[in-house]
């Protein structure tokens, strides 16, 4: 079984105030329709798919029932990150794989992201802090299983200095993104 973890919304209530409940209901209905459509599409190709919606810190799955968890750009929206990792560890089979891709504190705290989006700022982590948190949750991480893409859109200057003026980014920079393949102990 493969489990995909996606964030649907971040702090919707703060954004819409009085209209929050109505907007949240509309968002959930659209998301449920998308999930139902995805399930039907998978069935057309002979794939058995069961889609569930749940909190990442309380998954409706038995222990050791999942082969892989794919968690992409979700943790910077979560307040209970440690709980989510404990749940991922619980539902993964021994030697199950966690694929983890995340934006780091440097990126989430950047001027452009603060201007355009709302995130729980006090839970953002550096790349090293994410690695420590994943290891502390009971996962093994090989040094070869970590990458730090430094994509143009994750840079404070949107890579203008490098693209227009040929000035390469510093080698000892604080990373903005991290990708990890971790294995459950």
| 19-56 per-position pLDDT tens digit | 444 554 555 556 566 666 777 777 787 777 676 778 89
Across the range 60-67, mean pLDDT stands at 92
Mean model confidence pLDDT for the chain: 84
pTM, two decimals, is: 0.79
- Check residue 149 and give its pLDDT: 94
Strands (E), 25-173: 66-72, 92-103, 139-147
Domain ranges of the chain: 2-10+54-184
- pLDDT per residue as tens digits for the range 155-182: 999 999 999 999 999 999 999 999 999 9
- In this predicted structure, the answer to whether residue 142 has a pLDDT above a threshold of 50 is yes
Cβ atoms of 141 and 100 closer than 8 Å: no
Fold (topology level) of 2-10+54-184: Rossmann fold (3.40.50)
Mean pLDDT of 100-109: 96
Q: What is the pLDDT of residue 33?
A: 63
Question: What pLDDT was estimated at residue 109?
Answer: 96
- pLDDT at position 15 is 37
Q: What phi and psi values does residue 128 have, to the nearest 5 degrees?
A: -60, -40
Positive/negative CA dihedral, 49, 57, 63, 102: positive
Task: Identify how many contiguous H helices and E strands the chain contains and give both numbers.
Answer: 7, 5
**Around Cβ 86, how many Cβ atoms within 10 Å?**
15
Of 53, 50, 31, the C-alpha closest to 39 is 50
Q: What single-letter DSSP state applies at residue 121?
A: G
Positive or negative, the Cα torsion across 169, 174, 176, 182? positive
Does the pLDDT of residue 101 top 90, yes or no? yes
Residue 14: exposure state from Cβ atoms within 10 A (0-12, 13-18, ≥19): exposed
Query: Would you give the DSSP letter of residue 173?
Result: P
Residue 172 pLDDT:
92
The torsion angle over the Cα atoms of residues 147, 10, 93 and 104, rounded to 10 degrees, is: 20
- Distance (Å, whole) CA 182 – CA 104: 17
Please tell me the predicted confidence (pLDDT) of residue 31. Answer: 59
Higher pLDDT pick, 36 / 113? 113
């Amino acid at each position: 079984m493969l489990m995909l973890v996606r964030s649907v919304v971040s702090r919707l209530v703060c954004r819409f105030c009085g209209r929050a409940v109505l907007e949240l209901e509309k968002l959930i209905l659209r998301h449920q329709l998308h999930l139902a459509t995805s399930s039907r599409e998978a069935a057309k190709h002979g794939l058995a798919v069961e889609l569930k919606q749940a909190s990442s810190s309380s998954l409706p799955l038995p222990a050791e029932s999942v082969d892989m968890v794919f968690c992409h750009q979700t943790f910077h929206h979560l307040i209970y990150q440690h709980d989510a990792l404990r749940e991922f560890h619980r539902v993964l089979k021994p030697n199950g794989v966690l694929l983890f891709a995340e934006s780091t504190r440097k990126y989430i705290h950047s001027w452009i992201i603060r201007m355009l989006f709302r995130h729980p700022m006090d839970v953002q982590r550096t790349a090293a802090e994410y690695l420590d948190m994943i290891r502390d949750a009971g996962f093994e991480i090989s040094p070869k299983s970590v990458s730090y893409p430094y994509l143009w859109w994750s840079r404070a200057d949107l890579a203008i200095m490098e693209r227009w003026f040929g000035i390469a980014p510093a080698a000892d920079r604080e990373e903005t993104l991290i990708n990890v393949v971790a294995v459950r102990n």
